[in-house]
Amino acid sequence: MVIDEVKKHSKYVIYGAQVVAVGAYEAISHLTGIKPECFAFGKPQGKTFCPDGNPESIEGIKVISIEEVPKDMFIVVGVTELIQREVLPYLKENGYNNFFPLTQHEEHLLMSEYYKSIDKFPVVSNEKPGDRDFILYEVKNDRDKPLSFHPELKEYEKTIQAGAALASTKIAEITDDSGENISAKNRMYCEMSAVYWIWKNTDHDWVGIEHYRRHLLISPEMLTDDIDVIMPLPYICYPDEMSQFLRFTTEKVLDALIKSLKALYPDEYEDYHKILYGRYQYTYNMVCARREVFDDYCSWFFEITNFMEDNFAREVPELVETRAFSYVAEVLTNLYFMYHQKDLRIRHIEKAIYT
């Protein structure tokens, strides 16, 4: 495990400066008492793995170019596995051979141990045999890029085609353009057009959402009577969730969201604001929940997005002309389940990301 490697080397650098790297920093520093020498990033010619918007420092620790890091330094590679496909060869080609890739599995192990040590975000611990009325929907789109590997679906996993009303080809038996639907708005809502269809057209006791390249490693045996919701562990944002949100969209979209929350939920807004400007974020809109919880989440979610669309689309045209709502969706999903930590029994599991 990465914390054992850090203890061996005593000095280390974290490659990356976004949510994976920040989470690694928080967890490793807390569990070992050893802070990184710095955070590092790189963007060699012809490569694409370094996004704009890296901070100059994180909690007083500098973010520098990888070229400034000594070749023999131990490096924890704190970026997603998709980005690691470019980062790891680059490190080797440039003489950095002492590194530890924080794979999705390693990240889950690390963050599980960290959250357990601070008594937050417990993982699933019990499994009981049982025959649950449960479907885990894998959301796909006809424009999705091919993957180098995709696992065979379990009997409780069903593919649903999102944006089927806009597609020229059918890629799944279940499509989001039948019954009551918003399939034609898929370019705005992304996977949430499939979530809307599931909400309006199914009645399973338990329902889950995953993506064609991001799966929840869940089984029906985990759906025990003492659990209401199962989600992946949250990321840690720096300096807060809204800073992460603004990497992908604009202040105008954020302002429309804030005004909508204040208008619709004035009594809850103070608590909502604390979560929005907190550090934890559930991402990817991956949720498995009891039916009544799923229905309440969807009702709340689409009330807010409909309000935004009805009241702000004219002054913020990107709401309907871009995929801004897909980023709003992650904020709202996080807001709902963070707010309900106090009254829902939420547990967490590992997710797999396929490339």
Tens-place pLDDT, residues 299-330: 999 999 999 999 999 999 999 999 999 999 99
**In this structure, are 276 and 340 located in the same domain?**
yes
Q: Given this model, what pLDDT does residue 131 score? A: 81
Question: Does the pLDDT of residue 43 top 80, yes or no?
Answer: no
Question: Does the pLDDT of residue 46 top 50, yes or no?
Answer: no
Question: Does the pLDDT of residue 222 top 50, yes or no?
Answer: yes
Burial class (CB in 10 A: 0-12, 13-18, 19+), 131: exposed
Question: Does the pLDDT of residue 79 top 90, yes or no?
Answer: yes
**In this structure, are 189 and 271 located in the same domain?**
yes
Question: Does the pLDDT of residue 25 top 80, yes or no?
Answer: yes
**In this structure, are 168 and 250 located in the same domain?**
yes
Question: Does the pLDDT of residue 47 top 70, yes or no?
Answer: no
**In this structure, are 9 and 81 located in the same domain?**
yes
Would 221 be classed as within a structural domain?
Answer: yes
Would 290 be classed as within a structural domain?
Answer: yes
Domain stop point among 90, 117, 144: 117
Question: Does the pLDDT of residue 50 top 80, yes or no?
Answer: no
Tens-place pLDDT, residues 80-94: 999 999 999 999 999
**In this structure, are 216 and 339 located in the same domain?**
yes
Would 128 be classed as within a structural domain?
Answer: no
**In this structure, are 174 and 293 located in the same domain?**
yes
Q: Given this model, what pLDDT does residue 10 score? A: 85
Q: How much is the average pLDDT of 134-141?
A: 98
Would 124 be classed as within a structural domain?
Answer: no
Could you write out the DSSP letters of every residue in 198-250? HHHH---SEEEEEETTEEE---GGG--TT-SEEEEPPEE-SS-HHHHHTTTS-
**In this structure, are 253 and 282 located in the same domain?**
yes
Q: Are 191 and 326 in contact (CB under 8 A)?
A: yes
Distance CA 138, CA 271 (A): 32
Tokens matching residue 319: 């709401």
Question: Does the pLDDT of residue 44 top 80, yes or no?
Answer: no
* CATH number for the domain harbouring residue 47: 3.40.50.720
Would 122 be classed as within a structural domain?
Answer: no
Which residues are paired to 210 by β-bridges? Answer: 138
Distance CA 17, CA 257 (A): 26
Count structural domains, the chain: 2
**In this structure, are 79 and 160 located in the same domain?**
no
Would 171 be classed as within a structural domain?
Answer: yes
Would 129 be classed as within a structural domain?
Answer: no
Domain with 55, as residue range(s), is 2-117
Q: Given this model, what pLDDT does residue 49 score? A: 42
Q: Give the SS3 label for residue 14.
A: strand
Of the candidates 87, 114, 54, 340, the one whose C-alpha atom is nearest the C-alpha of residue 236 is: 114
* Residue 43: C-alpha distances to residues 15, 35, 46, 126 (Å): 12, 24, 8, 44
Domain stop point among 87, 117, 147: 117
Tens-place pLDDT, residues 228-253: 999 999 999 999 999 999 999 999 99
**In this structure, are 190 and 100 located in the same domain?**
no
Q: Given this model, what pLDDT does residue 51 score? A: 47
Residue linked to tokens 């702000």: 312
Question: Does the pLDDT of residue 278 top 90, yes or no?
Answer: yes
Q: How much is the average pLDDT of 23-48?
A: 86
Would 242 be classed as within a structural domain?
Answer: yes
Q: Given this model, what pLDDT does residue 52 score? A: 55
Q: How much is the average pLDDT of 152-168?
A: 97
**In this structure, are 175 and 39 located in the same domain?**
no
**In this structure, are 225 and 345 located in the same domain?**
yes
Distance CA 234, CA 124 (A): 14
**In this structure, are 296 and 248 located in the same domain?**
yes
Q: How much is the average pLDDT of 52-67?
A: 91
